[in-house]
Amino acid sequence: MTGEKRIKVLLAKPGLDGHDAGAKILALALRDEGMEVIYTGIRQTPEAIAQIALQEAVDVVGLSCLSGSHNTLFPKVVRLLQELGVGDTLVIGGGIIPEEDIPYLQERGVKAIFGPGTSFTSITNFIRQTVNPSN
């Protein structure tokens, strides 16, 4: 009998924001939690992110943005994932995102936003509870 398949997470930074200390920390934390993590590096187009998500067959796409362009770019990634036929990928976000923008993003398919001060466990618990690792 094979072991449980690891949850696969793509962490990505859409747009031009170059502040990725948080994304790097989260990548290391999720790996320590036993997940498989790909971090794209900064300055990715939504198109590129969706393509990598498809090619790597990830369970989760985590988007990080601190530059204020989240309302434009996060929903775009969700839409592109749907167009590529992987719309059931869990999309979550983090960075500097005003609380009042969270409902807007959730309505457009970003399931949760984890802002400054979020604990690692709240992210990993949310991922585990939401995702069924694909067979």
Partner 1 sequence: MADEGHMEGEKTFSTVSGIPIKVTYTPDDLSNWKHQRELGSPGEYPFTRGITPTMYRDNLWQMNQYAGFATPEETNEWFKYVISQGAKALTMALDLPSQCGYDSDYPLAEGEVGKQGVALDSLADLETILDGIQLTNMRFSCLANAIGPSYLGMLLALLEKKGIPPQEVLMSMQNDILKEFGFRGTYIFPPRPSVKVTCDVVEYCARHKFNNARVLCCCAYHMAEAGATPVQQLAFTLANATAYIEELIQRGLNVDDFALNMDTFQGTGMELFEEVAKIRALRRMWAKMMKERFQAKDPRSISLIVRAYTQGSYFTAQQPLNNIVRGTIETLAAVLGGMQLLTTSSYDEALALPSPESVTIALRTQQIIGYESGVTNTVDPMGGSYYLESLTDELEERATALYEQVQSMGGAIAAVESGFYEHEVAKSAYEMAKRKDSGDKVVIGVNQYVMDEPRKIQIRRIDPATEQRQIEKVKKLRQERNNKEVEVALARVKEAAREGVNLVPPMMEAAKVYATLGEMSSVLREVYGEHKAIKI
Task: Show contacts of 48-53: CB within 8 Å, 24+ apart.
Answer: 49/10, 49/12, 49/14, 49/77, 49/80, 50/77, 50/80, 50/81, 50/83, 50/84, 50/86, 51/84, 52/10, 52/12, 53/10, 53/81, 53/84, 53/86, 53/89
Which residue number, 71 or 82, has a Cβ lying nearer to partner 1?
A: 71
Q: Which of 9, 19, 8, 68 is nearest to 41 (CA)?
A: 19
Nearer to partner 1, 47 or 88 (CB): 47
Shortest distance in whole angstroms from residue 68 CB to partner 1 = 4
Residues of this chain that bind partner 1 (CB under 8 A):
15-21, 24-25, 27-29, 38-43, 45, 67-73, 96, 98-100, 115-117, 119-121
Residue 2: CB minimum distance to partner 1, A: 28
Judged by CB, which is closer to partner 1: 20, or 59? 20
* Residue 90: CB minimum distance to partner 1, A: 21
* Nearer of residues 31 and 111 to partner 1, judged by Cβ: 31
Distance CA 59, CA 134 (A): 7
Q: How far is the CB of 25 from partner 1 (least distance, A)?
A: 5
